[in-house]
Amino acid sequence: MTANASVAGKAPSPRRWAFKRPSERALYGAMGFIGVLVLWEIATDVGIFKKSLMSAPSLIVKAAMTDFGSGAIWPHITTSLSEWAIGFAIGAVVGIPLGLIIGWFRRFDYFASVMLSAIYATPKVALAPMIILVAGIGIEAKVILVLLLSIFAIIVSTVSGVHSVDRRHQQIAQSFGASKRLLFTSVVLPSTIPFILSGLRIGAGRALVGVVVAEFLVANQGIGWYISFNGTMLNSARVYLGILMLGLFGIVLGEMIRVVERRFDSWRPEIH
């Protein structure tokens, strides 16, 4: 069959090409990235896109220069950043030990499991109006929402990490007569680290959702508010600018955690 020959002839290993061809990747990536921006610019320029709705890359750059130049955007960035950081930090500090405890003590785990999966399935943003009512319109309400959104991802991932400890590794510790404490520190904790990290990665993203939603619903500062406010003012360039900053923050964050995760890759169990 001719189709067979042509297929067999190309792409020797679809599983590894992403790592194999960094220069090709960069070339096509740059083409895709710049291409979209250029098309966008042209489309707006010739009137295919409405300027008020779609803006244009050049207008976004101009808006960025204005707002960064005047410094008007910094309070929004610092507000959002501190809401995110405080909520996420509390989530990590409370969530990781809680996840370890739930995963480690079988009966405790059983006891919490139904409750935990019910809470996990609940979209926490639905609680936003209640949180605002209870905690007011200040930073507290936003921190609470961020915390609620991030902590369960961290707990659930940590618990599943403790559960996925390799049974053979446990047997080795048992075989050499390791104490419970040593079993925990020498086997359970190290094998759970990759899971904790992926929990933190997911939790960090969820926390960002919390920041945005809280600021949409009630705020007078922050990137979420900046996007929302400029939307109602039909100032589309600033809407895109705000979205761009959030996306970039998300990418930087993800990469940072991935760098840490890669350090543990050599002994990372297979998970998806």
Q: Which of residues 71-100 bind other proteins (CB under 8 A)?
A: none
CB 58 → other proteins: shortest distance, Å?
18
| Identified binder of other proteins from the candidate list 77, 82, 216, 221, rule CB under 8 A | 216
Binding to other proteins, residues 111-150 (CB under 8 A): 111-115, 117-119, 121-123, 125-130, 132-134
Q: Are the CB atoms for 190 and 130 separated by under 8 Å?
A: no
Residues 116, 118, 119, CA angle at the centre, nearest 5°? 65
With a CB cutoff of 8 Å and minimum separation 6, the contacts of 237 are 55, 56, 59, 60, 62, 63
Shortest approach of other proteins to residue 24 CB, angstroms? 6
- Window of 40-48, 56-64, 89-97, 259-267 that interacts with other proteins by CB under 8 A: 259-267
Q: How far is the CB of 131 from other proteins (least distance, A)?
A: 10
Q: Which of 139, 154, 187, 197 binds other proteins (CB under 8 A)?
A: 187
Q: Which tokens sit at 109?
A: 């785990």
Per-residue string for binding with other proteins, 6-45, x by CB under 8 A? -xx--x-xxx-xx--x--xx-xxx-xxx-xx---------
CA distance 91 to 69: 35
Residues 207-229 as b/e (b if ≥16 CB within 10 A, e otherwise) read bbbbbbbbbbbbbebbbbbbbbb
Of 143, 156, 212, 219, which lies in the binding site for other proteins, with binding defined by CB under 8 A?
Answer: 212
From the list 58, 98, 209, 258, which residue makes contact with other proteins (rule: CB under 8 A)? 209
- Distance separating alpha carbons of residues 64 and 118, to the nearest angstrom: 43
**Local structure of residue 1 (DSSP, 8 states):** -
Closer to other proteins by CB, 70 or 272: give it: 272
